[in-house]
Structure 1
């Protein structure tokens, strides 16, 4: 699959795969100077990139496991969605879950992009739904083991 991508700035870096079979492509901070993120604060960090995700797919913006586990930084919305008809800059709302200030430096890896297929559906309003053994049982209703 080919995805058309445009650098919006000279300093923007194209997404890169960390290993041969990695599902995600690293996204890099396109900032000119360090950005400080206070504890429990969210900052929008641009990538300097715009792209054309093919119809029938979306770009999922996920946390980088190392950045999340070691630094407490993750996308504020947990998973961002880049729709196939969006042509603006891809940005990451980076949230600091930790208790100390964190710093994002120019060209630092801040998230990963995974291109995912999805089904386009239509919703049909009905007066009642089919019956199942679980029914309306919610969180924890199927047991712990």
Structure 2
């Protein structure tokens, strides 16, 4: 299924999100500012973009594997959700799990964004749930 995502650049140094390779699920998001995230701390990083998501979708903000592997920097609330109706600036919460301070540079790829459909469900309060094979087993119940 193909959707149209509208992106508004609201800062002179903003970069349009893009896929590094054809067929990639995620589009890279870029920083418009320079800042240092101290070891063990988090920061809100501006992207300088606003979105108009297609009806019935969300944007999931996910970590970049290279930042996670090389610097132990990741998206704190991963995946972060941008709701269909949100029109404010996209900002990314990064956390530095590393032992050294991490420097975010302008135009650095800081996260990736995946557009995903959202199921709209009707909630029904009930006293009875269907028994499943798994039932209440969780937290390691399926093995190591």
Q: TM-score, normalised by structure 1?
A: 0.94
Q: Which runs of 4+ in 1 moved over 2 A?
A: none
Q: Which residue of 1 aligns with 2:69?
A: 69
Query: What is the RMSD computed on CA atoms of the aligned residues?
Result: 1.0
Q: Which residue of 2 aligns with 1:118?
A: 118
- Shift of residue 133, structure 1, vs aligned partner: 2.6
Counterpart of 1:68 in 2: which secondary structure? helix
Counterpart of 1:103 in 2: which secondary structure? strand
Question: Which ranges in structure 1 are unaligned for 5 or more consecutive residues?
Answer: none
The CA distance in 2 between the partners of 1:120 and 1:69, in whole Å, is: 35
Q: Which residue of 2 aligns with 1:44?
A: 44
The CA distance in 1 between the partners of 2:65 and 2:137, in whole Å, is: 32
- Between 131-140 and 18-27, report the one with greater CA deviation: 131-140
The CA distance in 1 between the partners of 2:133 and 2:72, in whole Å, is: 40
Give the length in aligned residue pairs.
142
The CA distance in 1 between the partners of 2:11 and 2:126, in whole Å, is: 50
- Between 11-20 and 135-144, report the one with greater CA deviation: 135-144
Does 1:11 find its partner at 2:29?
no
Q: Which residue of 2 aligns with 1:97?
A: 97
Question: Which ranges in structure 2 are unaligned for 5 or more consecutive residues?
Answer: none
